[in-house]
Amino acid sequence: MMVEQMGMSDIIGPRAVTSQGGNPMMGNGEGDLLRDKADAEIDRILTEQYDRGMTLLTENKDVLDAVAKSLIENEKIDGIKLLETIRNIRPSLVEDKALDAIKEAMKPELEARAGQQKDSEEKALAE
C-alpha cells in the first residue's frame, strides 16, 4: 500500500500503481513494467525491514530476556518498569525525557495504586 497507493518509494515515485483495472492513461506494457518495479520495491523494503528487525532482536536479546523474565515472574509489566529494565541493560536506549513522559502519563494510575495499597495496609492493621 505504501508503494502502490501512496507513492512512498524513490523507485516508483509519487504515483499510484493499481493491480485491478490498470491506469487508463498507461499502455499495457508500461503498466506491467511499473507493477514489476513496484513488486521489486516491495520485496526490497520487506527484506530490508526484516533484516533490520532481526538485527535489533539479536543485538538486544539480553533486554528481551530480562523483559521476558519480568513477565514470567509478574505476568505483566508497566511502561515505567519496562523502560527501567531496558535502561538497566542498555542505558543509551532510554532517554530521561522518555522515562519522565511515561511517569507523567501514568501518574493517575500510580496514585490510584498507592491509594489502594494504603487502604489494604490500614485494613490489615485493623484486623
Domain ranges of the chain: 1-59, 61-126
Question: For residue 58, what pLDDT is reported?
Answer: 96
Res. 48 pLDDT band, cuts 50 70 90: very high
Mean pLDDT computed over 5-28 = 65
Q: Taking residues 113-124, report their average pLDDT.
A: 83
Q: Which H or E element spans position 78? A: none
Residue 10 is predicted with a pLDDT of 79
Q: What pLDDT band is residue 25 in, cutting at 50, 70 and 90?
A: very low
Q: What percent of the chain has pLDDT over 90?
A: 48
Predicted confidence band at 112 (pLDDT cuts at 50, 70, 90)? Answer: confident
> 82 and 63 in contact (C-beta within 8 Å)?
no
**Above 70 in pLDDT, residue 63?**
yes
Q: Which tops the pLDDT comparison, 34 or 14?
A: 34
Q: Which contiguous run of DSSP H or E holds residue 64?
A: helix 61-74
Average per-residue pLDDT for the chain: 85
Q: N- to C-terminal Cα distance for the chain?
A: 63
**Tens of pLDDT, residues 71-100:** 999 999 999 999 999 999 999 999 999 999
Predicted local distance difference test score (pLDDT) of residue 24: 47
Q: Which of 9, 69, 63, 70 is nearest to 40 (CA)?
A: 9
